[in-house]
Every structure is written in C-alpha cells, then in structure tokens.
Structure 1
Amino acid sequence: MDLNRLGKEIHYFRSLRGLSQQELARDICNQSEISRIESGKAFPTLQTLYFISLKLNVPITYLLHTSMNERVDYIEETMSLINELVLHKQYKEVYELTKAELKRTDELEGSYVHFLRWQHAVAAFEMNRMSIEECIGQIEAALQDQTARFLFTAQGLEEKMCNSLAILYAEKKHFSRSFYYYDRIISQETMSQSDPELLLKVFYNYGKALFEAGELEKAEKIINKGIRQSKKLGNMTFLGQLYYQRGCCKETREEPSASKDFFKAYAFMEETGKVVLQAIIYEEKEDYFMNETVRSLYPFPKK
C-alpha cells in the first residue's frame, strides 16, 4: 500500500478544488489528520476516505486504486518516456514502444491502454502507416469510453486527446469539428492550473485554425485571450506565436498595426530561444523589418 502516493493525490485534488486542509477536514476529521494523510504518515479509515472522496468529487475507487496498484510507477515512467519521445517527434520509437505495450493489454488498466492507443495512432499517422480518418476514429473511440472518463480527467488525457483531434480535423479542413474540440478544451475551468502550457498552445492552434477558415474576427478574439492568459500566468512560451498569428489577421485586413505584432513576435521568439521560428518570421515578413527605426530597437539579423 503506497501511502505517499495516496497523500499526493489527495493534496493534488484538494489544491485543484481550492480547499485548505481545514476546509477539507470540516465534518470529516481533524485538520492534523488530513496533514498526516497528505504527508504519507497515515492511512485513513475507509469511512474517512469515503467522505474525503465525496468532498473532492473523486471516486473512492480511484483513491483506493492509487494506493494499492503496484504498477503505477511503471505506467507513469512509461507514459513520461512516451511523452518525451513525442516532444522530440521521435515517432518511430513511439510507434514501436506503444505497439509492444499494447500486446499486454490484459495486464494493464483502462486509461493507460487508451493513452497507448492514442499515441500509437498519432505515431502511425505521422509515419504514414495509418490514414487520418483511422487515426481520428481510434482517438474518438477512446474518448467515448465512459469507464475511463474519470481517469482521463484526473490525468489530463482528455484535453490532450481533444487537442490531437482538433489538429487532425483542421488538417482535413473540417473546421467545425476542430472548433468543437478546441471549445471543449477551453471550457475546462481547471485547465489554467492543471496544464497551463497546453491551454496556451490550444489558444494559438485555435486562432491559427480560425484564421485558416477565414474567421478573422473570432481568430483575433481567441488569440487575444491567449495573450492575456499568457501574461496572467507569466508564461511566455507561446507569446511569440500568438503575436505572429494576430499580426497575420491584421495583415489580411490591411491594418497598419500588424507590424507591431510582428515586431513583438520576433522579440518574444528571441526571448524564448526559438531561433528557427524567429528566422522564419524575419524571412516571411522581411518588408516589415526594413524600417531603420524598427531595426534600431530590435536585434534583427543583418542581410
């Protein structure tokens, strides 16, 4: 029985719900007992755990599973490895690893199996071993499995799978379905806490898809939300891309202020070390960067 893991999960969900230890303990137990449970020094009675699960809106079966499943470490390590491979676009390795893991589905729990099927489908598509329609079908089938729904939410998988679907549908120019999945992600109230970087990425991708669909006004509105959220969170990861996409919207409408957004995009690319994207912006929007006043303010490369 893993008391530390159970304690960490209770602490995570308590923080997610915005509760203090004292608020969680009210009408259940003493605050000191919650502290001992979260630090892994005590295991609650089933009655206490049941009332904790009710207040946190988490199935008691999930908390029991967390504390008793000896394979959790292995699963988390494997998921972490796959995510790292995806980050570096090593799709062949992802494909082979997920294929090997899926051969042992009888030994594995539901949400992990769906995670593997999702990543396997995306890797197969990226390697041209699966059509975009097949890839979409497999991810949507996983999302519709109600037995794994809570674990999807708890592990943040639902939003990530929806993001994959939104990107795939946009690639097929099925924009209404793409927008449906982007809206589904943004509607999650806890996204800014659970995975702020994914949320910012979604704002950028959503704005880009709206731009490609010709919905410039809505695109700019979504992008502005992304810019505000980036500043609120103090996260500059996608600010460069967001300003660039807003500049593209303004450029299409022939607004002079487009230049300011391209300059900001360039500067934030510099700040975040995205030199490849920085070079692409300069090459694509070179005319905007020829003004001598502007060149004196930003470290643009010399021709």
Structure 2
Amino acid sequence: MRYKMDFSLIGQKIREVRMHLGLSQKEVCDGICSQAQISKIEKGEVYPSAPTLYLITKRLGLDLNYFFEKGITQRQDYVEEVKKQLAAARRNTNYQDVREIVKSEINNPIFTSSKENFQLLLWNKGVYEYTLEKKPEKALKTLHEALSLSHSNDNVWTENELAIIMSIGVIYMDENQIDEAIETLKKAKRYVNNRLNLEDKTIIPRLHFNLSKALYKAELFEESIACCKEAIEWLIKQDYMYLLGEIYYNMGYNYELMRLAEKAIYYYERSILIFELQNRLEHIDYIKNKIAALKEN
C-alpha cells in the first residue's frame, strides 16, 4: 500500500503567485526544474522535492511557510494517518507493511523537512531492519541516528525518543546483551517517571513488560516481580488492560524460576483470565500446560 498526499493546494498557490507577478512558468523554473515539471506541480500531479520548493519560493520572493498556510492541517492529518498505519502494523507484527510504508515515505518532503517526522520513519526503519532483515548492528545504528535527530536535553524526553530507547533495549535483550538491555530500559523508566503525562499510554506497560523480562533473564527475580507489580498497580488505577495478561504471566514465570509453584500457578491463572476476557485464546493452552506441569511436580 502506498500513501500519497494531495499537494494541489500548494500547486495552486504557486500558480496564483506566479500569475500575480506576471511571470511565465519558464521564468519561474529557470535553473530549478523543467517547465514540464512545474506545470505538473501547479496541476497537483506531482509534489516538488523540498529543495525544489525552497528555490521556487525564493524565485517568487516568498517564505516557504506561505505555501503551507492552507495545507498545514492536511499535512499533519497525513502524518498522523501514516503514524496510525505504522502503529497498527507493529501491533500486528506485520513488519512487511512497516517496511513498505517507510520505503514509500522516506523521500516524501512532509517527512524529510521535519526532524520529528523523519525520526518516526527512522525508528520504524530500525524496527524492520531487526525483525525482518535480522541485522542487529544495522538496526541499532539506525535507531541511534533517529535518537540523535532531536535529543539535546537529558531532562526532557519526547515520547518518540522513549519509544526509540525501548526498541534499543529490546534488541539488546533479544541479542542476550542483558546488562545493556537492563541499563537502557531502566534509563527509559527514569525518563518516563519524569514526565507529567503521556499521550501514548502503551509506553508504560510496554516498558515494564520488557524490563521485567530482562530482569528475570538476569536472574534478578525479586526486582522483576517488583517491576511487574508496579505495572499492574498502574494498569488497574488507569482501568487499562494493555499487556496486563503478559505482565501477570511474567509474574508467574518469575515464581516458576524461583521454584515457588503455588505462586506461579496463581499468577498464571490470572493471566489466563485476562486473556479470556480479551478473547486472546492463542496463549491459553500454552499456559494451561505449564500449570499442569507445575501441579504434577
């Protein structure tokens, strides 16, 4: 699926100003692009590259923002739609779609002209480089590049930056670089705690889920359990169930690893209850088998 924005309003603006100044298309495009190209831009058939649009604005004696006065809302709506498509693809682990969306937008001026928008693409690029291409070093390089686009103050972290840090931590964990994973995810947790509010509520359960997982891999069971309890308390307070079943499962798995079968069974059963309420039946048989095995022993 490809995503295109209607740049006809910008093309119309160019034509209006050009006509008002009494300039021909040839006079406007001289040394910038072909006359055929500017004709297509004015008709809304193609959108100009960021450098081309910049040079056209200078030729017409205007500021670049002039052309976006009418188009800015549509531009932001378009970015939000792409963001939603990427989030849905990640949530469904459809990383082929993530790659397709990123590749279709990577040269789009809406994204290349904004650090925040381009950062969004680079973050998702790093995600598919790891999940699809199995290239952890390349993915980490891309994610660190994405982070460097905006970050300048260690006391202030955007939600995009927090999501990128978490992705870095997850890669470390999956590559069995557990110390690096714990350090990275704990850093993200400190930054989350410093924020007064979060637009994306999934950040907190995702962070606690992954940190608790890294901690039990390091055999830091009590710390992992504390991390899970903190997440459960927050989720219940927020009346929010995202990853609640997985976090209850992590609790049970910690107790299983500690050879505390009764407690492990208790939290496994709670995770089953949540998955049943969410109609996520694919997890239930696996957990029931674990419970049966614990009861036999």
Calculate the TM-score normalised by the size of structure 1: 0.66
Counterpart among 74, 81, 85 of residue 85 in structure 2: 81
1-structure distance, mates of 2:234, 2:94: 30
SS of the residue aligned with 1:257?
A: helix
For 1:224-263, list aligned pairs within 5 A.
Answer: 224-255=229-260, 256-263=262-269
Compare 190-199 and 215-224 and name the one that shifted more.
Answer: 190-199
Answer yes or no: is 1:194 the counterpart of 2:202: no
2-structure distance, mates of 1:98, 1:195: 21
2-structure distance, mates of 1:142, 1:107: 13
Residue pair 2:251, 2:267 contacting (<8 A) in 1 also: yes
Counterpart among 157, 161, 165 of residue 158 in structure 1: 161
The answer for the alignment partner of 1:59 in structure 2 is: none
* Per-residue deviation, 1:195: 2.5
The answer for the alignment partner of 1:281 in structure 2 is: 287
1-structure distance, mates of 2:199, 2:153: 17
Q: Residues 134 and 224 (structure 1 numbering): CA distance in 2 closer, same or farther, change over 3 Å?
A: same
Alignment gaps of 5+ in structure 2: 1-67
Residue pair 2:106, 2:112 contacting (<8 A) in 1 also: no
SS of the residue aligned with 2:202?
A: helix
* Per-residue deviation, 1:125: 2.4
For 1:107-186, list aligned pairs within 5 A.
Answer: 107-128=112-133, 131-146=135-150, 153=157, 156-186=159-189
Counterpart among 102, 113, 122 of residue 98 in structure 1: 102
SS of the residue aligned with 1:273?
A: coil
1-structure distance, mates of 2:278, 2:295: 20
Q: Which amino acid counterpart does residue 159 of structure 1 have in structure 2?
A: L
* Per-residue deviation, 1:203: 0.9
Q: Please identify the structure whose Cα radius of gyration is greater.
A: 2
For 1:3-22, list aligned pairs within 5 A.
Answer: none
For 1:207-222, list aligned pairs within 5 A.
Answer: 207-222=212-227
Residue pair 1:203, 1:222 contacting (<8 A) in 2 also: yes
* Per-residue deviation, 1:135: 0.0
Q: Deviations over 1:180-236 (max 9, x none)?
A: 232233222337643222211211111111111211121111111111111111112
1-structure distance, mates of 2:294, 2:273: 14
Count the aligned residue pairs: 224
Compare 67-76 and 214-223 and name the one that shifted more.
Answer: 67-76
Q: Residues 240 and 140 (structure 1 numbering): CA distance in 2 closer, same or farther, change over 3 Å?
A: same
Q: Residues 181 and 191 (structure 1 numbering): CA distance in 2 closer, same or farther, change over 3 Å?
A: farther
Calculate the TM-score normalised by the size of structure 2: 0.67
Answer yes or no: is 1:203 the counterpart of 2:239: no
* Per-residue deviation, 1:176: 2.3
Residue pair 2:112, 2:118 contacting (<8 A) in 1 also: no
1-structure distance, mates of 2:291, 2:185: 28
Alignment gaps of 5+ in structure 1: 1-64, 291-303
